[in-house]
Amino acid sequence: MDNIDHLIDWVKFYQERLPTQPRPAGDHKYNACCPFHDERNPSFWFNTNNGLWKCESGCGSGNATSFLARLEGVSNGDAWKQLCEIAGVDPKRTEKPKVRLPLSLAEYAQSKRLPLETLQKLGLTDRPASGYNPAHVGIPYYDADGRAVAIKQRFHPANTQRFGWEKGGRVIPYGVWIDMNKTAKALILVEGESDAQSLWLHGMPALGIPGATNYQAAWTAEYIGDRDVYLHVEPDSGGAKFREKTLAALRESGYKGTARSFSCHDVDPACKDPSDLHVKHGDQFRELLDPALKAARVEDLAKLVIHEAKEIEPPGQTPREIPKLQTYHASELYDKRIERPPTIVSGMIPAGLTVLAGNPKRGKSWLALLLALCVAGGEPFLGMQTTQGDVLYLDLESRQYRVQDRLRKLIPGRAPECLSITHESQRLGDGLEEQLSMWCQDVEHPRMIIVDTLGRVKSRSRQGENAYEADTRIMGALQRLALSYGVAVVCIHHLRKSVAESDDFERISGSMGISGACDSVILLQGKRGEDHTTLSCVSRDYESLSLILGFDNGRWTLRSADSDAWREEQAYLECPYTRAIIALAHRNKVWKGTPSELLEELIGLGANPPVVDPRPMLRDLNAIRERLNDRDGVLFIPSKKGAKGKRIAEVREVEKDGF
What would the pLDDT profile of 64-77 be if each residue is shown by its tens digit?
888 888 887 777 78
Provide the pLDDT for residue 338: 86
Q: What separation, in Å, do the N-terminal and C-terminal C-alpha atoms of the chain show?
A: 70
Instruction: Give ∠ CA 457-461-462 in degrees, rounded to 5.
Output: 130
Cα–Cα separations (whole angstroms), residue 6 to 9, 84, 214, 424, 456: 8, 12, 32, 18, 17
Provide the pLDDT for residue 5: 75
User: Tell me, what DSSP letter sits at residue 386?
Assistant: B
Amino acid found at 217: A
Strand order in the sheet with 163-165: 125-127, 136-142, 148-154, 163-165
What would the pLDDT profile of 40-64 be if each residue is shown by its tens digit?
778 888 988 888 888 887 777 888 8
Who's near 328: CB < 8 A, 6+ residues apart?
none
Provide the pLDDT for residue 210: 87
Burial (CB count within 10 angstroms: exposed 0-12, middle 13-18, buried 19+), residue 465 = middle
Residue numbers in the chain where pLDDT is lower than 50: 1-2, 96-97, 306-315, 499-501, 658-659
